[in-house]
Structure 1
């Protein structure tokens, strides 16, 4: 795999923890001036470097791009003045649109932190047997984080979800002078799978901190990766591995409490958020109660409003606001309480593994097993649910996609789900009534169906090929 670097980002060290910022190529400080050899020396330093890699993961960007571009949301009345993410929601953006491109810089920042730390692993000293035993686990976490970041980049920026499609630069070493080209989907997948296999070997079953990547979380990541790679057998294998460690679906108040951080019953891996500035809900509703994006009427109509516990948890009709303001709000992330209005980001959950199993079994024509997983999930969410049957695999797959639309709403999946199945984004007429010139449908051949590589990256690196429809390098 090539040793490469994203040339739009410069990196520097502060103490023992890596920090990063975005910059054009001309502003980069040569890496030779950074005293990396002395930055990390002992176990405590290395643990801080690993924590720093986690801390920089901006998964809220993935959540936002899926919500704004897909059919999960509609233009909020209050946004007629603010025009927040207007280009993205109206599918009228170019390579300078932040909502559509922010994942690039963030995820390559994460990868660079990982690569700098991995390069120094053999130099780290330990002073106790406990530290010596735990040090390989830190290396395993770094490999898992690098795999996670590369996979997210693929979901964002690949042209097609196929082996020969242009993917993203696969980065294994931090170097300022390199100008990498894009690897194929298959090449990036090879690195991702290798990193996850290494992580699985190095992370022990005794490590249970879900704010970091544990062994069950590695299995969950591998299951999602296999699903996107259409590797149905491994999707089944790894989803079952994850569920063997933590497989109980939450019900009733436990499920409701999951979204206020009262419990972590379904969580394999989550990102800590401890300030209102990191609040997911403020992606769509600010602290002045102005609503940029509301849940779509299309999405809300898919729920049994009386018996499905998710309806009241995910959506709120705020009757306290004036009639001139937007009343429907995303309520999936309501805050931990009235004071702490932020929530930890649930990145991998038990219910996703059930949905992966249902889809993968359907794709292998095992309709009975797939139906069993789908029915189990619905029964955990819907009071009085009666098990359904499906005539064939295609009918089951359609039902699974509907359930992913519902269960994983506002969690960073819908736009990518439609893209990996090569399906258009279709909004309802009711969902385009509030904003000026909101389009109804994004077809698979339309330019904005594929996200662009950031224009700043194209300017900095002539070897990066832009995605089709966005002009030449």
Structure 2
């Protein structure tokens, strides 16, 4: 669906909703002019909650058979950490085999739902400033979150749909949509222009949310100032603005601790939010974030963890027990499954696959700061080692600090990202941001479709053909996909 068509069809929320205390209670329904239909700030609050609810889409952070979970588990299927199994229903085969085209439906769906969320955020922003004089705090909270969502989703689009992450690149970027207007036919702009707009939205969001209480108690369902700082740290790592990445990662780390080893497993069953900065809330009937990899209720594993990665964990590491399980299939044979999102147990003592998706965690900030320090023109290897060792100490009982340098240090940080962040939306994109000269997928324990070469066009997703057909101004198509 094109952006133009999407803006006509994109919804905001049911204005008749009777309970909106949680994200889970609201579903978008129909487009409207917020400046005339929204009569008070409660209407805008409902709209914001509806915006959050769209992240549960199976093509964003959800995950069921036949849907890509594009910004969650898919980067590991595109790369080398989750490998297709004999139980596959071929739902993501076009991705794991890198055979997607401009007419691939799941690529189109990822594009569509991303711009749907952006449109909903724009509706939430439309006309809200007229309430700012009497209710400055409430307006700041709603507006800041909507701006951060808009920036976050545009950045996710940039990660898949552009080939050059350099901050000053004049290569084609992505359309940056800031108004809800179904008549627009946006051009792509450049990568630099896209970064500028993402950065501006995040800076404005940070100013609005600083000092604001957004979440209640230990919930992390809403974006606060620290989440915005985490977004900035991630963006600056991609754009190679390493000093800024270090700065913002440090600001988050200074406010949040890593989970204790005995608490860490509880993060993945939603019994603890320690070190979680922002999650997308899921409840029964609203999706299973890991369901397109391992469906516990059906005991089907379409993609299994690469044994090469599992072998990299220390024997005293707490993560394998939280991320992987050995289960018995229908024939009585044991196999290892990716169980990070197996989630809570039902009354029948079976995991239900329903768990909040963790979008940002403190551990990523340690890894961002470690990598950025190691990649500085004048590397601060002492600081990089300190962060790497601190994360490992939190995860490995009896860990002894190491002191690494040069490429060995960079390799260790990259491996730690694989071990820590598997299934959270990173691996393929981590490889991609190395640049055309260095990136490569090289799958171990693989017999076919094992290598994606650095120059392959599949590192960049195609603009969906229906979008190009509806909006000629969005050209050029990405290299290797025609048009």
With normalisation by structure 2, the TM-score equals 0.87
Structure 2 distance, partners of 1:138, 1:301, is: 45
Structure 1 distance, partners of 2:332, 2:100, is: 31
Moved over 6 A (4+): none
C-alpha RMSD of matched pairs (Å): 2.1
Aligned residue in 1 for 2:10:
11
Structure 2 distance, partners of 1:12, 1:341, is: 27
C-alpha contact (below 8 Å) 1:88/1:100 kept by paired residues:
no
C-alpha contact (below 8 Å) 1:427/1:441 kept by paired residues:
yes
Asked if residue 419 in structure 1 is aligned to residue 432 in structure 2, the reply is yes
Compute the displacement of 1:220 (Å).
0.8
After TM superposition, the structure 1 stretch with the greater mean CA deviation from structure 2, 58-67 or 235-244, is 58-67
Sort the Cα spacing of 1:405 and 1:355 in 2 relative to 1 into closer, same or farther, 3 A: same
Aligned residue in 2 for 1:468:
479
Match of 1:136 among 137, 140, 149: 140
Match of 1:439 among 445, 449, 454: 449
Match of 2:239 among 222, 229, 232: 229
1:10-159 alignment runs, 5 A limit: 10-16=9-15, 19=28, 34-57=32-55, 58-60=60-62, 61=69, 62-79=71-88, 82-124=89-131, 131-159=135-163
Structure 2 distance, partners of 1:399, 1:165, is: 31
Match of 2:280 among 271, 281, 286: 271
Compute the displacement of 1:337 (Å).
2.2
Sort the Cα spacing of 1:385 and 1:14 in 2 relative to 1 into closer, same or farther, 3 A: closer
Structure 2 distance, partners of 1:404, 1:372, is: 15
Asked if residue 366 in structure 1 is aligned to residue 368 in structure 2, the reply is no
Structure 1 residues not aligned, in runs of 5+: 22-30, 433-437
Aligned residue in 1 for 2:343:
335
Offset from partner CA, 1:179-211 (integer Å, 9 cap, x none)? 111121111111111111111111143414121
Structure 2 distance, partners of 1:15, 1:322, is: 47
Structure 2 residues not aligned, in runs of 5+: 16-25, 63-68
**Matched position secondary structure for 1:458:** helix
Sort the Cα spacing of 1:56 and 1:315 in 2 relative to 1 into closer, same or farther, 3 A: same
Offset from partner CA, 1:409-460 (integer Å, 9 cap, x none)? 11100000000013101101x234xxxxx41101121122221122221221
The alignment of Structure 1 onto Structure 2 pairs a total of residues equal to: 442
Sort the Cα spacing of 1:14 and 1:359 in 2 relative to 1 into closer, same or farther, 3 A: closer
Compute the displacement of 1:19 (Å).
2.8
Structure 2 distance, partners of 1:159, 1:320, is: 41
C-alpha contact (below 8 Å) 1:314/1:330 kept by paired residues:
yes
Aligned residue in 1 for 2:364:
352
Aligned residue in 1 for 2:193:
187
After TM superposition, the structure 1 stretch with the greater mean CA deviation from structure 2, 274-283 or 214-223, is 274-283
C-alpha contact (below 8 Å) 2:309/2:419 kept by paired residues:
yes
Asked if residue 386 in structure 1 is aligned to residue 430 in structure 2, the reply is no
Compute the displacement of 1:125 (Å).
8.2
Structure 1 distance, partners of 2:388, 2:141, is: 35
Structure 1 distance, partners of 2:430, 2:477, is: 22
- Structure ranking higher in helix proportion: 1
Asked if residue 207 in structure 1 is aligned to residue 209 in structure 2, the reply is no
